[in-house]
Amino acid sequence: MACVDSEVDLWVVPLVALNMSVRKKLGLYLNPRNAVAADWMAVAEEMGFNYLEIKNYEGTKSPTESVLEDWQARCTDATVGKLLSILEEVERRDIVEDLRPLMDEDVRKYCENQKKNAKPPLQVPEVDSCVPRPMQRIGITLQDDPEGAPELFDAFICYCQKDFDFVREMIRELEQTEYKLKLCVFDRDVLPGSCVWTITSELIEKRCKRMVVVISDEYLDSDACDFQTKFALSLCPGARDKRLIPVKCKPMTKPFPSILRHLNIGDYTRPYTRAWLWVRLARTLSQPTFM
C-alpha cells in the first residue's frame, strides 16, 4: 500500500478525504463503550460537541460516523491532521498505528483527484500549423458564450431523477414568477459530452451562488447527489451555511442526512406552510453572497 507524500500537510486535508471504509473501521474501535480506553464520546468532546449533542448521538447506528459527518460539516478545522491529533490526545495511538496506512491511502487518492480537477487537459497543437493559436474556452451550459463571460446562476439544484416533478414546480415558482431567479438544472442547462464530475464541480464552485439540495429517500440512494453535497460542503468553510439550502420535498422513511442536520431546512411536506416556502426560498436565493 502506497504511503501519502511526505510533503502533504495533513492539517489542511479536509476530512472528506477519508472514505467510508476508514470511517467504519474507526467506528469498530470507538463505538464500543470501554472502561479502559477512550471511546467515541471522548473524541466528540475533543471535537467541541457539548453534553446534549453527545447524548443525542447515543441512539444512532454508528455514533462515531455520525460525529465525523457533523464535525466536518460545521467546523473549519475538521481535517485529517486534526483527527489524528485528537486520537493522540485521547491516548488512542493504537487506532493511529492500525489505521494510518489506510488514511494515508485515502489522502493520496484525494490529492490525486484534486490535482486532476485543477489541471486542464493537455492541448495538443495541430501538426499542420506553426502559428500559435489562442486556447478556446468551451461552453458547458446552454447560454454559455465562448467569446464572453460564462453563464452564472443564482443556485445549483441538487436532485435525483425521481424528484424531477418537484424540480419542475420549483422552476415555475422561482423562475417564471416575479422573482425571476436563475436556477441551474443539470438535465435542462448542461450540454452533453463532458465529464459529469468536472462540470458539476465547476458549476457548484464557480458558477452558482448557492445550492438547493432536494431531500427525499431517493436522494439518499443517489451517488451523484452524494458527490454534489459533499463537494459543496468541502468548499470554503465560512461559506457553507449560506451556500447550502436543504429542502425536504416529500415524507421520508429514512433518517434525514446527518451532514445537513445543522442547517435550517425548507419543508415542502407541510401543506399549511407550503406557500411560505417559495417566498422564503426566493428571498434567500436573492441575497448577495461572496463566492
pTM value is 0.56
At residue 268, φ and ψ (nearest 5 deg) are -85, -10
- DSSP element (H, E) containing 168: helix 164-174
Per-residue pLDDT tens over the stretch 91-135: 999 999 999 999 999 999 888 888 876 655 555 555 444 444 444
User: Cell match 436522494: residue?
Assistant: 219
Answer yes or no: are the C-beta atoms of 210 and 245 closer than 8 Å. Answer: yes
| CA–CA distance, 74 with 237 (Å, rounded to integer) | 8
Write 19-26 long-range contacts (CB < 8 A, 24+): 19/106, 21/102, 22/99, 22/102, 22/103, 22/106, 23/64, 23/65, 23/68, 24/62, 24/65, 25/99, 25/102, 26/64, 26/65, 26/68, 26/95, 26/99
- pLDDT, averaged per 10 consecutive residues of the chain (291 residues), comes to 62 90 91 80 90 84 89 84 92 92 91 74 51 56 82 95 95 94 94 84 91 96 90 67 85 91 90 91 85 46
For 242, which DSSP code?
H
Supply the pLDDT for residue 220. Answer: 94
Supply the pLDDT for residue 183. Answer: 96
